[in-house]
Amino acid sequence: MDNLTKKQQSQEKSYIFPYHYLDLQCDNYKFLHYVEYLNLLKLIINIPDKIQKETSILDAGCGDGRLCFELSKKYPEINICGVDYSDRAIAFAKAFNPHGEFYVNDLAKMRLNKKFDYIFLIETLEHIPPENIPAILQNLSGHLSLTGKIIITVPSRNLPLETKHYQHFTKESLTRTISDHFKIMEIKYHSAKNIHRKIFSVLRRFGLLIYPFKDKIFPVNKFYGFLNNYYSKKISPAGSEDGFGLIAVCEKNKS
């Protein structure tokens, strides 16, 4: 798309390569660098229930399509669609998800002539100018089936604001932001800033040191399994005082 904002242009530069897929080719990303990212993906794809053959899913702001890739792997018979403003990202999404439908479009203006059972809005709202969010949410509500669910993840205000982001959220501010169109059914924080994160950081650095020996010494591979389990049990659960991110499961307002 043309006329990208400066923040969108910054994100577009990162799509010179499909970086969300690096762990599929490089074990050091799988075991060490992407522990947090892969844990979040796992949390997200385990949210939907009653997935059937004809279940339709929209990934709004899909980027290079990694979430679509994981959803299709777990639920191979679903109908999946992704939309993003980035031509580069959509090209990667199509390459990695040949059975999905992907479109370059503005989330506020897209017209897909279809209702979806699930809409995923993952790490997207923070990239949108606040004044543009209502139009996007209204359009997404129009694309969600009457009994459908929208799953939203955002960074929390416990995390310093990044240059690519317009805002971070609390439970209360996210609720206010979406309340005209969606009702939150369940919301929780994830990814805690706690003493275990500091321990995890030390363990990860140790993991980098021993990585060259992972195929030569059996306990090394067991260490990486331990590292991932440590993160999922000790850091992934979080509260409002220390969580770096929010996950909300919502339904559309009944008019």
Return the domain boundaries, the chain: 6-11+51-193+240-252
Signed CA dihedral, 130, 37, 46, 72: sign only: positive
DSSP 3-state of 35: helix
What is the pLDDT, as a whole number, of residue 250?
A: 98
Structural tokens at position 230? 């440590």
Q: What is the mean pLDDT of residues 150-176?
A: 97
Mind listing the pLDDT tens digit for each residue in 20-38?
999 999 888 898 999 999 9
What is the pLDDT, as a whole number, of residue 255?
A: 66
What is the pLDDT, as a whole number, of residue 106?
A: 96
Q: What is the mean pLDDT of residues 131-151?
A: 97
Mind listing the pLDDT tens digit for each residue in 195-236?
999 999 999 999 999 888 887 776 788 899 999 999 999 999
Q: How far is 4 from 12, CA to CA, in rounded Å?
A: 9
Q: Identify the CATH number of the domain defined by range 6-11+51-193+240-252.
A: 3.40.50.150
Residue type, 191: S
Average pLDDT of the chain to the nearest whole number:
93
Query: Phi and psi at residue 3, in whole multiples of 5°?
Result: 55, 45
- Across 9-13, 79-83, 161-165, least confident range: 9-13
What is the pLDDT, as a whole number, of residue 213?
A: 83
Structural tokens at position 40? 């979040």
Mind listing the pLDDT tens digit for each residue in 44-72?
999 988 788 889 999 999 999 999 999 99
- 7 pLDDT exceeds 80? no
Q: What is the mean pLDDT of residues 185-190?
A: 98
Residue 174 pLDDT class (50, 70, 90 cuts): very high
What is the pLDDT, as a whole number, of residue 1?
A: 62
Q: What is the mean pLDDT of residues 77-92?
A: 95
What is the pLDDT, as a whole number, of residue 52?
A: 81
Query: Phi and psi at residue 229, in whole multiples of 5°?
Result: -65, -35
Residue 12 pLDDT class (50, 70, 90 cuts): low
Q: How far is 35 from 51, CA to CA, in rounded Å?
A: 26
Q: pTM above 0.85?
A: yes
What is the pLDDT, as a whole number, of residue 9?
A: 62
